[in-house]
Amino acid sequence: MHVEAYRHQVGGHCRLLKPKDSSKVCKPLNENEFKFYDKLASLGAPNAEAGPLHILKQFVPKYYGVTEILLHSPLQDWQQQQQQQQQQQQQQQQQQRRQQQQQAAEERGAADAAAAAQHRPADDAPPPASATSSCCSSSSSSSSSSSSSSSRAEGEASSSSSSVGGGGSPPGAAAAKPQCP
């Protein structure tokens, strides 16, 4: 039920209404007023003689519009339920998006791993036996004195490149050359 503001009302209920009065109380209750009327409703009929109602007996029944304002609470409950349902739907949608993103990331990771696995065997494969044998056969024909001098030169080059800090050939270049016995 929609409750409209009563323009002549400043605070509280400014006039008592008789049950046959055609006007309505059109002011939403504040928290204290709501607690007061809620307590009265929980105690029983407003004209009962029990409890604190005997003090209020003369004027409480005249607030006939209060029940209309109290009927506003089911509308608020319904609105809260709608908001909660919308929030739950949004949370479910966010969870579904996260799951889809995770699945897509896993699929991409699996595809990348498969692609990397296809390229790795060609890079990590040992050189063919014919390449090592031809290298060794050409080295064996050279004299032993020239091989010892060349090994000294390679050692000096590798030590100078390591002391300079990466200048010249890469550090693995000397180790990459096959040496024959």
Q: Which two tokens stand for residue 80?
A: 């809260």
Which whole-number Å values give the CA distances from 92 to 76, 88, 98, 103, in the listed order? 24, 6, 10, 16
Which pLDDT belongs to residue 69? 45
The whole-angstrom separation of Cα 21 and Cα 13 is: 15
Terminal C-alpha separation, the chain? 101
pLDDT in tens, 54-100: 555 544 444 444 444 445 566 778 888 999 999 999 999 999 999 99
Inter-residue long-range contacts of 137-146, CB under 8 Å, 24+ positions, other chains counted: 139/179, 139/180, 140/180
- Segment of 72-76, 102-106, 110-114 carrying the highest mean pLDDT: 102-106
CA 72, distance to chain mean position in Å, is 36
Residue 140: pLDDT over 50: no
Average pLDDT over every residue of 130-159: 50
Return the closest-CA partner of residue 1 out of 85, 86, 65: 65
* The pLDDT of residue 73: 60
The string of pLDDT tens digits covering residues 31-45 is: 777 677 667 666 655
Q: Is the pLDDT of residue 18 over 50?
A: no
